Homo-oligomer: A and B are copies of this chain.
Amino acid sequence: MADDPFRSSDTLRSARPLAHARQVTFAGPLDLELGGRLPEVTVVFETYGRLSPAKDNAVLVCHALSGDSHVARHDPQDDPGWWDIAVGPGLAIDTEEYYVLCANLLGGCRGTTGPNTLNPATGRRWGADFPTITVNDMVEVQRRLIDHLGIPSLLAAVGGSLGGHQVLTLATRYPERVRGAMVLASSARLTSQALAFDVVGRNAIRRDPQFRDGQYYEDAPGPSVGLALARMLGHITYLSPQAMSEKFGADRLQPRELTTLFENRFSVGSYLAHQSDKFVERFDANSYVTLSMAMDLFDLGSTPAELADALARSRCRWLLISFSSDWLFPPAQAQELADALLALDQPVSFCNVTSDCGHDAFLLPDDLELYGGLMEGFLSALRGAPAANGGEAGHHHHPTSIFRPRRFDYDRILGLIPSGASVLDLGCGRGGLLSSLRQRGESRLLGLELDEQAILSCIQQGLQVVHGDLDQGLPAFADDQFEVVVLSQTLQAVRNVELVLADMLRVGRRAIVSFPNFAYHKLVEMLQQGRAPESPHLLRFKWYNTPNLRFLTIADFEAFCAERGIHIHQRLALDTEEGKEVHADANRLADLAIFVLAAG
């Protein structure tokens, strides 16, 4: 985290007017999802870069609860934007390549129709008369804006938190308008815990005597205490406990000198007082109530079936990114979305980025290299231009790989995969096998991988990959979803062997498994001579540090299959030192075996 404990995404913000903003008013009424009608809607928005002649390079950025249309500086003299680190020339969302568009939210307080704008029916500000809106309503307004700008289909929509809810909604309600959806630090719905924090925040605002049922605009000061309390609470939930301890643990009793009416005894209290005093200067309490309620009401599908129904409508490619220390939108929620999309056989990539930055991670530079790289690679693939720094397919080896020469293994496995087959590669590493299959012309390819850098490499090559731990099995996948499921030289590092093999045979019509043969004569000879087998070629590690946890022979594996009624469709026994196939006495003479299996 930063040297300045008072740093946050918020300290970059100013409450000045949005100098580069444009605005458009849609004269027609907007009928709202929960009833009620807005007679007209004004949208304030900003754009960056140029729309291509084909109008196919637009990227919509959806902001979160307290954001606005000013996603980035328009020029060096401009006020800082909230995502300057990610949006700009040469950055992850490259404004020299893409036409970037960001609108202030419906219900917000920076110009787009909301509680603090004039109600044309009364000539006064809406205030508490502003109706309850939903994320669907927000997205309907964004669709009108896209229409207004003449964009038939967005290259991509991107957003974190409430912004992610908008992307999910856009991609599922208007599937023809989005080719790529990037969802960061978001979910199909809030957790009960996150919702509870919002309830307390709204209670603080609404029970502030200055709230006056939301009609406080004409009589200062408004519910500034309630809004500040809500913001303090929100702020805690945006940070990880680790980050808070680092920022405030050592000097807990050394608050900053502040002029505030809030408690200023502890350094963390000083930070909260400072942040919230600034926030109430730029944000409207009615908008806070309106937008947080929309977020709390958001539910893409409260049962797995409903969620699947909603996501089944999408026609885009998906990139889901969560952050390991985000407890407001826990990674399991992004995993839930990824699993639902996988079960639907929709094109999804997913990465849970290891981070100490909590929910705010998607706004901070700390983990930008990874999450920015994922967005950049995903966008490049969407416009059909894999990034130049892709992963040199096939030359990198698997990060969890125990063995150096995988080409020989890959080549044999490639030969066993029928043309046109869909393939799931478990422990796909940097995508060596998948790249080779794509070069051969295969298109329905997916990798599962644990290592984040390997995932980044796959995404940079335009490959589809999901973050996951093989030892959990493959619960997300449907029966017979793939023609072939591959587990190349990884079986011996798996703890939950029975589950993994059973799931491979359930999810794939065929399973291809390769592993080192522990009965290989040179290994047996070593043991006969009294030492645990090792080999410079196949086993580069020692007994005390090898990632290999399982030691099996070809005969063991055949017995295992026989006991479970697993059909061995084909078996290749290899001597990888000699680079040749072994036909006789394989259990003794082969150092590697490749099995093609099918459920019995």
CB-CB < 8 A to A248: which residues of B? 192, 195-196
Residue among A204, A247, A302, A559 with max Cβ neighbours from chain B (10 Å): A204
What per-residue 1/0 map shows which CB atoms of A227-251 lie under 8 Å from chain B? 0110011001001010011011110
A498 located at the interface, meaning its Cβ lies under 8 Å from any Cβ of chain B in the complex: yes
User: At the interface with chain B, which of A75-83, A259-267, A340-348, A377-385?
Assistant: A259-267
A551 close to B551 (CB less than 8 A): yes
A225 located at the interface, meaning its Cβ lies under 8 Å from any Cβ of chain B in the complex: yes
CB-CB < 8 A to A26: which residues of B? none
CB-CB < 8 A to A261: which residues of B? 207
- Rounded to whole angstroms, the CA-CA distance of A71 and B248 in the bound complex is 35
B497 close to A545 (CB less than 8 A): yes
CB nearest neighbor in B for A270: B199
B550 close to A241 (CB less than 8 A): no
Q: Which of A206-238 contact B (CB under 8 A)?
A: 206-207, 209, 225, 228-229, 232-233, 236
- Report the contact-size class of chain A (Cβ under 8 Å from the partner): 35 or more
- Rounded to whole angstroms, the CA-CA distance of A527 and B239 in the bound complex is 54
A32 located at the interface, meaning its Cβ lies under 8 Å from any Cβ of chain B in the complex: no
Given known contacts A252-B195, A530-B519, A544-B552, is B203 in contact with A229 (CB within 8 Å)? yes
CB-CB < 8 A to A330: which residues of B? 241
A179 located at the interface, meaning its Cβ lies under 8 Å from any Cβ of chain B in the complex: no
B202 close to A263 (CB less than 8 A): yes
CB-CB < 8 A to A559: which residues of B? 531
A518 located at the interface, meaning its Cβ lies under 8 Å from any Cβ of chain B in the complex: yes
A269 located at the interface, meaning its Cβ lies under 8 Å from any Cβ of chain B in the complex: yes
CB nearest neighbor in B for A289: B263
- Rounded to whole angstroms, the CA-CA distance of A233 and B272 in the bound complex is 15
CB-CB < 8 A to A244: which residues of B? 191-193, 196
A266 close to B532 (CB less than 8 A): no
> Known contacts A207-B229, A241-B330; can you find 10 more A-B pairs with CB under 8 A?
A191-B244, A192-B244, A195-B248, A202-B263, A203-B228, A203-B232, A266-B296, A497-B544, A518-B532, A532-B556
